[in-house]
Amino acid sequence: FQSIYKVTLNNPDTNCSLQCDCPLSSNQTTDLQSSTSSAYEVSSSAINFVPPGSSSFSLDHYTASGRRTTLTRLGTDLATLSLKDSCPPESLMLKDWTNIRPVHSSCPAVFIIGARKGGTTSLYQYLSHHPDFEGIHLEDGPSAGETFHFSARYSTENWKTYASRFPKASVMTGDASVGNFINCNVPSRLFESCGNFSKVLILLRNPINRYVSNFLMRARFKKKHYSNNTGLSTVINLEIDSFYNTLLKKGVSLSLSPDKWEQFQCLYKPAENMLFEGLYYIHLMNWLCNYPGSNMLIINSEEFYKNTTFILQQVYQFLGLSPLSESSRELVTSFIFNKGGNRLLPHQMLLPNDRKKLSHIFRPFNNELFKLLEWNDVSW
Ligand SMILES: Nc1ncnc2c1ncn2[C@@H]1O[C@H](COP(=O)(O)OS(=O)(=O)O)[C@@H](OP(=O)(O)O)[C@H]1O
């Protein structure tokens, strides 16, 4: 079975201890124990953890209903986080998720970080209708619901300006910048900035449907030299070429092995190649290794589209917002935001052969994702 463990490393010599929530499958316990035989240095606090003999090691089991819920299991399809061995235990163990103080005192409570075309605008809008949540809308585009792009590059000064846009009142507020899921620098930057305070919502949609929706948006808004005349098949084939070329140039194996997920990280400028955006497993692993899993809720977009009021209730619960009645939720969710066009031109349709090509790239990553999240009945 897979579970969440709380890991405590004690150094009796210095009387210091380090704790982190470490999601692992039970059969990794041995690996984890043996990995303590090397010395760990926590540079931020200058604590040295030394080999067994002078250090002790303990694992406490935490369940979904446990005292501190690391695992957020909502319904059957939502976030069940159980990290596999591909996430280096060291990086998790060196993180103290519990004691880090946010650098900034005013952080938005919620970040909807993606995936792009996953239904993020609707979710943000629906949340904004809750009496205790204040949505902030961009006045200068691109569209209501995508709010003040948090940047991994913000300096302290930038941060002050950014944070000052959010109300300090008792209401909850949030940011919905969909590029953050795939920006490999954001998780650690966000954690550094906001510590445990901010919660993260992630909507994951069938990556092929996400791809097509993204393409159609570019054509609709004539972004990146796209127009209504741009053919989907042409774009797919160009992007597949550029995808493999990027991997080649960076010396990454073309066998597309998801367990080498770290190799794929930071390989592209966010949003440049729509294929990279759909490799959710890579992006999620980066988040899980750099941001506390207990503060992340991962939602299957298709489930969100199908059972919107139910999922919305689960989101309220996760954020600590009071529940709303079924009828209020139905009212709130009656409009679909950011819907693409219904009538596609012939050259905008996905050909069976192109679907196969996309599926070939996404499948191994989807499979790892399903295992990680225990999404047993999802068939993208
Ligand atoms: N409630 C509900 N039910 C069904 N479908 C829904 C819903 N909310 C959003 N959507 C679909 O999500 C797509 C837009 O996603 P985003 O808002 O995340 O797009 S963006 O990244 O902010 O541009 C867009 O998909 P496409 O229509 O395929 O483009 C929306 O139709």
Which residue's CA lies nearest to atom 2 of ligand 1? 305
Task: Return the ∠ at Cα 278 (arms to 187 and 215), rounded to 5°.
Answer: 120
Higher pLDDT among residues 338 and 41, named by residue:
338
How far apart (Å, rounded) are the C-alpha atoms in residues 140 and 157?
21
Q: Which amino acid is at 136?
A: I
Cβ 245 vs Cβ 254: under 8 Å: no
Instruction: Identify the weakest region by mean pLDDT among 78-82, 91-95, 238-242.
Output: 78-82
Whole-number pLDDT of residue 157: 67
Find out whether the peptide bond into 270 is cis, omega within 30 degrees of 0: no
Which residue's CA lies nearest to atom 26 of ligand 1? 340
Instruction: Identify the weakest region by mean pLDDT among 77-91, 101-115, 200-214, 271-285.
Output: 77-91
Q: Which domains are delineated in the chain? A: 2-71+84-93 (no CATH), 110-206+284-332 (3.40.50.300), 215-281+341-373 (no CATH)
Task: Return the ∠ at Cα 261 (arms to 215 and 83), rounded to 5°.
Answer: 110
117 lines ligand 1 (CB under 6 A): yes
Q: Given the CA of residue 333, which atom of ligand 1 is nearest to it?
A: 1
First-residue to last-residue Cα distance in the chain: 24
Q: Given the CA of residue 123, which atom of ligand 1 is nearest to it?
A: 8
pLDDT digits (tens, 9 = 90+) for 61-75: 332 222 222 222 222
125 lines ligand 1 (CB under 6 A): no
Pocket test for ligand 1, best of 123, 147, 210, 213 (most atoms within 8 A of CB): 213
331 lines ligand 1 (CB under 6 A): no
210 lines ligand 1 (CB under 6 A): no
Q: Given the CA of residue 145, which atom of ligand 1 is nearest to it?
A: 22
148 in helix, strand or coil?
coil
Contacts of 69 (CB under 8 A, 6+ apart): 62, 294
Whole-number pLDDT of residue 105: 59
Cβ 191 vs Cβ 293: under 8 Å: no
306 lines ligand 1 (CB under 6 A): no
Which residue's CA lies nearest to atom 11 of ligand 1? 119
Whole-number pLDDT of residue 241: 94
Which residue's CA lies nearest to atom 25 of ligand 1? 339
How far apart (Å, rounded) are the C-alpha atoms in residues 59 and 51?
17
CA of 120 relative to ligand 1 center, distance in Å: 7
pLDDT digits (tens, 9 = 90+) for 237-287: 999 999 999 999 888 888 889 988 888 888 887 778 999 999 999 999 888
Mean pLDDT for the chain overall: 73
Q: Which two tokens stand for residue 144?
A: 């209501």
Q: Report CA 343 to chain centroid distance, whole Å.
A: 31
How far apart (Å, rounded) are the C-alpha atoms in residues 31 and 80?
22
Residue with tokens 């709010």: 147
Q: Where are the alpha helices (DSSP H) in the chain?
A: 29-35, 89-93, 120-128, 156-164, 186-194, 207-220, 232-249, 261-264, 274-277, 280-290, 301-306, 308-319, 326-332, 352-373
Compute the radius of gyration of the chain from its Cα atoms. 21
Q: Report CA 121 to chain centroid distance, whole Å.
A: 16
CA of 183 relative to ligand 1 center, distance in Å: 21
Pocket test for ligand 1, best of 112, 113, 122 (most atoms within 8 A of CB): 122
214 lines ligand 1 (CB under 6 A): no
CA of 133 relative to ligand 1 center, distance in Å: 21
Q: Which two tokens stand for residue 23?
A: 């999601």
Q: Given the CA of residue 339, which atom of ligand 1 is nearest to it?
A: 31
How far apart (Å, rounded) are the C-alpha atoms in residues 253 and 269?
19
